[in-house]
Structure 1
């Protein structure tokens, strides 16, 4: 049975120029370089300039993805932008990107699933393409998490950074089998009972302010390893693959210990896992496309490879996408 598949035709990313190393963090909050590395694997993070908005980061990543795909913004039918740190309460940050790119038709909107946001955005765009409602879609993850950090809370402020990544999805006809190129399946989950494990203590309706990020790290770690391993297994089983079939895993870059524990649980070789958390820290919805762009530019993925994307974020939300490159 023939069907439309969403093939990744371009990747791009952008990181703000300002970098704060762990040593510099020692001057900001009561912490040490050794403590941060041992518990997270993070060595530095990029921080947006005062006049740099989430949309600015997203626009630059999108432009690079379009250039990589060798198409123009006029060829894009849809923008789905994942962010928890939008420029404004409304309109969506995606529409600001749309205007900046010169895209005058189609649709643009945001999705919000925190660190799982890019997986949710990718699944959404994929379904538009499968339904024949879009031929080319921009999927973006962009964050300025530095704006919602409590810089006096050493348990959270050392973990996060700013950045953006984007991909272009293009429709291609497939046979409806696991041999097709493109997104083979997406698997999304959430459980709102765990709101207080990872959240921001503000909001338009509650405090009329943005608030600050709060997290119970040990509980998040425990749930993350279980949920991420299970959703990857779900994606593999759905497509009749095993862990041995996987060529590359692009995980959400939250914490090196979470990455290591999840991969051990899945019994996947560490050489098949993209790790960029040491350079970018946790950039929430931007972390997967940032890591993906780095891996693609390093030629670590070949045509026909099986690539798994996975993430978990506040909510809790979690999910995975399985792609044949």
Structure 2
């Protein structure tokens, strides 16, 4: 029997993390509605991190440095490949990931210190590579905005990926940086169907709102792109051409896609989600994923893990290339136009002459 969905949440359960020593199982009270039996209020915690810039060595991603202001994400995207990271906190990659959010309150201070080190060599920094920098908590905590303020001060180039329309709040900073060639924004659009969005990514902006965000950013002079991710067979794959065309019309000049990835606990979480929302499609969806992942539901090998392999994955790649050509996308590779030569460490304690 499928576990009933929880209103406003992507995961249907609190699947134990792979490092859990004990597993607690709570039975639903038959006399209570699912939402009442399983409290889903979001909780926030201070993340006592000592560093803020993460170094990446993967050859199949276009950046070497990244920043994530938060751990966990309230958008609740069931497909999020970052979910298994909550297991390192002894929490579930399921409901815990979207309702127990860790806030890096000292992120701006840490960034200032790291950028000021003599050993720091400027490269563009990606934000939103793991969890969304514009998830709901950002409206109150403003950690992402504080980070951008530091980046602007140092002329540190940044590329942002987000589903959140809240990025429009920071157009003042991003437009000023973009004028110097220091900023770009990629908006992730998974579906234009509100019904599907509510199930896939329940607390993220609607597809229409994201297209409007693209339009607003473009009009402000900020280079923009669209990310169609993930491609989920038999769920949203048919929308690829429509989304790329709409994003291009809204001003996007870059585009990318990622084939569905199901690492670690995400395999069970996504399977449960299919059982809850699309039980008749479940077997077919998982079969196509397996066919595109070398007979498994996930691949860790470079080059294959983002795009998949096999006949179905090749078809998706061909459709993407043709749609990009038709809509004038990807004429300039992402990040290549961001300038690093303007970087400077501001003099915070000027010394004045005695004469």
More strand by share: 1
Bigger Rg over Cα = 2
Tell me the TM-score normalised to structure 1 length.
0.29
Give the structure, 1 or 2, with the largest relative contact order (CA under 8 Å, sep 6 or more): 1
TM-score, L = length of structure 2: 0.28
